[in-house]
Chains A and B, each alone.
Chain A
């Protein structure tokens, strides 16, 4: 019973914070709300017996990627949305278009949920199968990661190297000649 209450609370926080994220004018507020959403998702991962993924979510997403976003927003010091005159008359700022977009998003939710629940055994409880102690241990994750998925692991490390070099190159100032 308390499990279900916790699930609903965290799911509500995650969904509510994400809704607010896409509705904010100030990107700083969006980033802080998204961090709150990530925290709630991390709690959901703990409920799914994945503590390592939960902590990795906080360390990588909420602790590193969002700091990167925050730095960029602060350094660019960009004007907020629809500050320019021509932006205020943009078709997407008219209420009709926004509402139509929201309706389409709701339709997408209905389609996804219908498809997912039909294809899987949606009523079965998560956590029926599998040994909890073994699933939530870091040792078993490491063992599978470095044996079955080692190629993907090495490829990902090269990906990060390429991304680092690319980011430095793209954001570097052009030399004054």
Chain B
């Protein structure tokens, strides 16, 4: 039997990796992928806690997180495509028009 803490550690490590990816990478696609890593880490936490409580609620919340992640990925990638058409670059530092 695996203690609950083990699953939470894995979830925390994945979340931190995702956060590091969002902050340290200069490519819009990789930033979106890091956000997906963070959402998955949260899913793992939910399912682990749901199992520890002995209910299915953890699994159900996971569905909603997955659905929201799918919607967010679709809209995010549409924005990336629109941005790329303007500047021919996927580097977030290339989009500085709103900077003072």
Contacts and interface: CB of A to CB of B under 8 A. Distances in A.
Answer yes or no: A and B touching, Cβ < 8 Å. yes
Interface of A: 3-4, 7, 11, 14-15, 18-19, 21-22, 24, 27, 30-31, 34, 37-38, 41, 44-45, 47-50, 52-53, 56-57, 60-61, 64-65, 68-69, 72-73, 75-76, 78-82, 84, 87, 90, 92-93, 98, 101-102, 104-106, 108-109, 112-113, 116-117, 120-131, 135, 140-141, 144-145, 149, 152, 156, 159-160, 162-164, 166-171, 173
B1 A126 contact: yes
A163 B16 contact: no
Interface of A is mostly: helix
Contacts of B72: 163
Interface in B13-57: 13-21, 23-27, 29-30, 32-34, 36-37, 40, 43-44, 47-57
A72 B29 contact: yes
10 contacts: A60-B70, A78-B29, A87-B91, A92-B26, A117-B5, A117-B8, A126-B7, A128-B52, A167-B74, A167-B78
Interface of B: 1-10, 12-21, 23-27, 29-30, 32-34, 36-37, 40, 43-44, 47-60, 62-64, 66-75, 77-82, 84-85, 89-91, 93
Nearest to B80: A72
A7 B14 CA distance: 15
Nearest to A169: B78
Contacts of A84: 89, 91
Nearest to B82: A170
